[in-house]
Amino acid sequence: MTVAIFIIPIFIAAVIIMWVYETIMGIIEDIEFWISTARLPRRTKAFRKPTRKTRVVQRNSGNRGTGSVIYLWEAVDVESYDGDPVYKIGVTSISQGTTRIERVARKHSLKHRIERIEKTIGSAFSVEKALLKLGYAVDMDGIDGHTEFRAMTQQDLIKANRIISAAMV
């Protein structure tokens, strides 16, 4: 009985500390998200703050899961109707490396050139959402991740590189 008297308060204190930690981390992530996207235009529904549930899943996944690496590659032999180069934006994990990029390009017979592949601070999903605000959508139906292909001007590409650089580890 005396052991329980000491263990129960310690357990309760540990639960409270974990709750406070999760709350503070959520607030910090909110601040980081709003700072990183404050200068981006807010035109589409894709620009939404992630929900608490989404943040917890992404934070707990760490390097073992997906979502810690952002990539941007050019589909070399594809042009938009305006003649702008077409880029694929996506999220992968450290363990996948360039495998995902190469698999998609090979499956659809696309020549590719990797522009950026970088480990991010926190979740790469918020970076991806910010990048998908740049440029304009191109018709790539039938290709894996077709909604993540964007035609970008040189100015858009410069902005994309700045967003990625700001989110790097």
Segments making up each domain of the chain, as ranges: 34-167
Instruction: Return d(Cα 80, Cα 135) in angstroms, integer.
Output: 11
Instruction: Return d(Cα 152, Cα 146) in angstroms, integer.
Output: 15
Question: For residue 128, which of 165, 162, 90 has the smallest C-alpha distance?
Answer: 90
pLDDT above 70 for 27? yes
Helix-strand-coil split of the chain, %, nearest 5? 45, 20, 35
Question: For residue 94, which of 57, 131, 61, 55 has the smallest C-alpha distance?
Answer: 61
Band (pLDDT 50/70/90 cuts) for residue 62 is very low
Instruction: Return d(Cα 123, Cα 135) in angstroms, integer.
Output: 22
C-alpha dist (Å) from residue 60 to 95, 105, 169: 16, 30, 17
pLDDT above 50 for 56? no
Strand-pairing partners, residue 71, are 90, 117
What is the number of other CB atoms lying within 10 angstroms of the CB of residue 90?
A: 20
What's the whole-number mean pLDDT along residues 133-142? 83
Band (pLDDT 50/70/90 cuts) for residue 60 is very low
Q: What percent of the chain has pLDDT over 90?
A: 6
pLDDT above 70 for 99? yes
Of 6-20, 38-52, 122-136, the least confident: 38-52
What's the whole-number mean pLDDT along residues 59-64? 42
Tokens representing residue 49 in the block:
């703050």
What's the whole-number mean pLDDT along residues 30-53? 54
pLDDT above 80 for 92? yes
Q: Who wins on pLDDT, 6 or 132?
A: 132
pLDDT above 70 for 49? no
Parallel, antiparallel or unpaired: strands 85-92 and 136-137: unpaired
What is the number of other CB atoms lying within 10 angstroms of the CB of residue 86?
A: 20
Q: Who wins on pLDDT, 5 or 69?
A: 69
Element (H, E) at 71: strand 69-79
Reading phi first (left if > 0) and then psi (alpha if -120 to 50, else beta), residue 71 is in beta
